[in-house]
Structure 1
Amino acid sequence: MNKRMKKKYLTEDEKKVLELYHATQYIEFKSHELSPDEALKLVERLGKGAGYYSHNTVKWFNCISGKIEVTAFIKEEA
């Protein structure tokens, strides 16, 4: 094994997420109360093609790739 490579040990929560990913047809991640920049960066981790949506006072970014969906809701401005 390459000396520069480090073995990463998964936490129990991370193991559960992988188990659920393999056992389900679809998985969704959501985050709330983010700034617009934070929200866009989060959904772009999944890939390009993030969409911006709004309904009444709620605004969010969303991205879908394969069976994974990420939604990041933007904090309401005061």
Structure 2
Amino acid sequence: MLFQVYGSQSGWQLFGWILVFICLVVTNEIARRTKVGGLFFFVVLPIALTIYFIAIYVCAGQGQSWALHNPTYFHMNS
């Protein structure tokens, strides 16, 4: 089920959905309206994340414990 909002925590779950939606709209407007925002979200951020993911993958391949226990590596390809 896509929207599992029920139980005693349903108010917080709905608040989380609304907060994520608002943050996505705000970051979209920043990226769309300003040149600096566009460069950051479409150039700088993807480059930084690519370096981060490659570093974790390579270090996990070498058997380094910090990379093997990193949640990013744990959920890679899942």
Q: Higher strand proportion, which one?
A: 1
TM over 0.5: no
Q: TM-score, normalised by structure 2?
A: 0.25
Q: Which has the larger radius of gyration?
A: 2
Structure with more relative contact order (C-alpha pairs < 8 Å, separation 6 or more): 1
Q: Higher helix proportion, which one?
A: 2
